[in-house]
Amino acid sequence: MRRVLSHGSFLRFYLLLGAALLTVFLIALGGRAFIDHVSRENYREALTALPMSLMARQLADNSPRERQEQLSSWAEQLDMQLTLVPLTDASLSYFERARLERGKVLVATTSPWRLQRRLHDQPWLLQADFSDWSEQQWHATIEMLGAWLSPLDGSERREQLESLEQGSWPLALLDQSPAGLSDAQQRQLDRGEVVTRLRGEELSISFIYQLPTGSQWLEAGPASGDSKLPFNLHLPLLMALMVVLALIIYLVMRSIESRMARLELAATRIASGRLETRVKVESGDFLGRLGMAFNGMANQVQSLLRGQQEMIRAVSHELRTPVARIRFAVQMVEDMTDQPAIRRQLQGIDTDIAELDELVDEILTYARLGGETVNGAELEMSLVECRAMAERVIDSLSPLHEGLAITLSPGPDIELLAEPRYLQRALQNLVSNACRYGQSKVVIGLWDEPHLVRIDVEDDGPGVPADARADVFKPFARLDDSRARSSGGYGLGLSIVQKVMAGHGGSVTVDASPSLGGARFTLLIPRRESPA
């Protein structure tokens, strides 16, 4: 079982999700039980509000002697034990005292039952103890209410009814006998008895009583026998369940997402050339196996590239020996003959050998940069004076292009922490490329920006088409298919520039020159802090 769990990310996800649902289910059961408890308490309080409110209202207006007589009469009538307890002697909690202050009834459901209500604005607590509810108690309550209302006239009766806390028993005074009563129930009313009537699917209970004056009927109810959960308790429970479930799912998904994010970051770093990047493998599940496969792929790619670079370097070095022998043989043949035609052919061969030697040098430089900078290895940095470097490049290329004006834009001296040899090689390649395609002018511009140094090389040549700008930095890429000496080049110069910029953490771009109309190549080299 442990092996199955350790090798299945999604299985663990489903198990965690099942545990989350089980937790939410248990919370829901606990919340339901709590809401049921609160609902029962509210229902019992509303059920007992009418008799307790009626007795507390009448006792508040009586003298102490009248209260004792009234309590004795009510106790016999209701089959309850009724007492008045000083509020200071009652052992009540803070919340119970607060409920009593608001005129609520405290209901203790222990056996026997105990009801408590405070007399209005008086330090006395009406306490009722009884074993259980019976029909006698409800009938007696309605009779007590009728006896209290009988001496009053019609308007006063309605005012007194509205002043009572009715709870589950809505009270109404009727000017005529309620419809739907049977003959037996009508005779009960005529005899001064309380009639119990059940109606509806839920058997709603109501009590009907004819006042002793005979002019009005008192109806209490209907009161439903069940207690429904209030919406204001349902809504917080549902919201709490949603929050808990969402939090658990978020925590589970965050673990998977963080591991996938690490895979994505590693893939992005490898795509940018940092082939030494590896993924940390934390387990042997599906994502762990994916990480191991990813690391194996990166090792294989890095090994292939390293082998390719070593092969290119080896082949380039080996080419130098036969090229040198061919050059030596050509020079010997040239020294042994004085015929002009043969000398012209030998000079052409010597020029081809020089181009081949230059190509070998370019390939070696490209392979060396691939091994040192493409994988993000640190280069040996030192302070480079950019204007002096640009002037050296101009001095070295101007004699080779006498028909072009190679100039440096005026500006302040700029110092930059970089690898001086490679940075100068990159600038020289760009200027050589501009001289190859420029018509009459090549301009170098230096710009000191807040976090980087920008070097622009512009020419007045035909420029680079927009759809070919992404391809000019590929190895051996050319804008035309010509291999004539008039255009020259081997397609490695701009690739070397891109490698140099990658080693410095910068970039090279190409667009149209706004001032000369040709191409503008831009080097962006970020500034680095000098080592301590």
Average pLDDT over residues 170-174: 78
How would residue 4 be classed by pLDDT, with cut points 50, 70 and 90? very low
Residue % of the chain over a pLDDT of 90: 4
Between the ranges 12-26, 355-369, 372-386, where is the mean pLDDT highest? 12-26
**Which of 195-209, 213-227, 370-384 is predicted least confidently?**
370-384
Alpha helices in 61-205 (DSSP H): 64-78, 94-101, 135-149, 154-163, 183-190
Please give the domain boundaries of the chain with CATH numbers for all domains. Answer: 1-133+230-263 (no CATH), 272-377 (1.10.287.130), 379-526 (3.30.565.10)
Stretch 42-48: mean pLDDT, rounded?
Answer: 76
Burial class (CB within 10 angstroms; exposed 0-12, middle 13-18, buried 19+) of 287: buried
Q: Binning pLDDT at 50, 70 and 90, where does residue 229 land? A: low
Interatomic CA distance for residues 245 and 331, integer angstroms: 87
User: How would you classify the pairing of strands 405-408 and 441-448?
Assistant: parallel
DSSP 110: S
For residues 221-233, average pLDDT: 59
Q: What is the pLDDT of residues 132-150, one digit of tens each?
A: 777 787 888 888 877 787 7
Give dist(CA 133, CA 140) in Å, integer.
12
pLDDT at 486 over 60: no
Helices and strands per DSSP (H, E), number in the chain: 13, 15
Q: What is the pLDDT of residue 481?
A: 44
Q: Per-residue pLDDT averaged across 407-429, rounded?
A: 87
Cβ atoms within 10 A of the Cβ of 428, count? 20
Helix (H, G, I), strand (E, B) or coil at 78: helix
Q: What average pLDDT does range 501-506 have in this prediction? A: 83
Q: What mean pLDDT, rounded, does the chain reach?
A: 77
Work out the pLDDT band at 205, boundaries 50, 70, 90: confident
Mean pLDDT of 285-308: 81
| pLDDT at position 135 | 78
Query: How far apart are the C-alpha atoms of 459 and 515, rounded to whole Å?
Result: 9
Average pLDDT over residues 2-29: 66
For the question of whether the overall pTM of this predicted structure is more than 0.85, the answer is no
pLDDT digits (tens, 9 = 90+) for 311-352: 776 776 677 777 778 777 777 877 777 788 777 777 778 777
CA distances from 371 to 29, 255, 300, 417 (A): 65, 37, 16, 21
pLDDT of residue 214: 64
Average pLDDT over residues 168-186: 78
Average pLDDT over residues 118-124: 81
For 175-273, where are the E strands, in sequence order?
A: 195-199, 204-210, 217-223
pLDDT at 456: 92
What's the chain's length in residues? Answer: 532
Q: CB–CB of 146/156 below 8 Å?
A: no
Q: 415-418 and 405-408: which strand pairing?
A: unpaired
- pLDDT exceeds 60 at position 440: yes
Is the predicted pLDDT of residue 1 greater than 50, yes or no?
Answer: no
Q: Which region among 139-148, 159-168, 233-242 has the lowest average model confidence (pLDDT)?
A: 233-242
Share of the chain above pLDDT 70, in %: 83
366: left (phi over 0), alpha (psi -120 to 50) or beta: alpha
pLDDT of residue 177: 78
H/E element holding 234?
helix 231-271
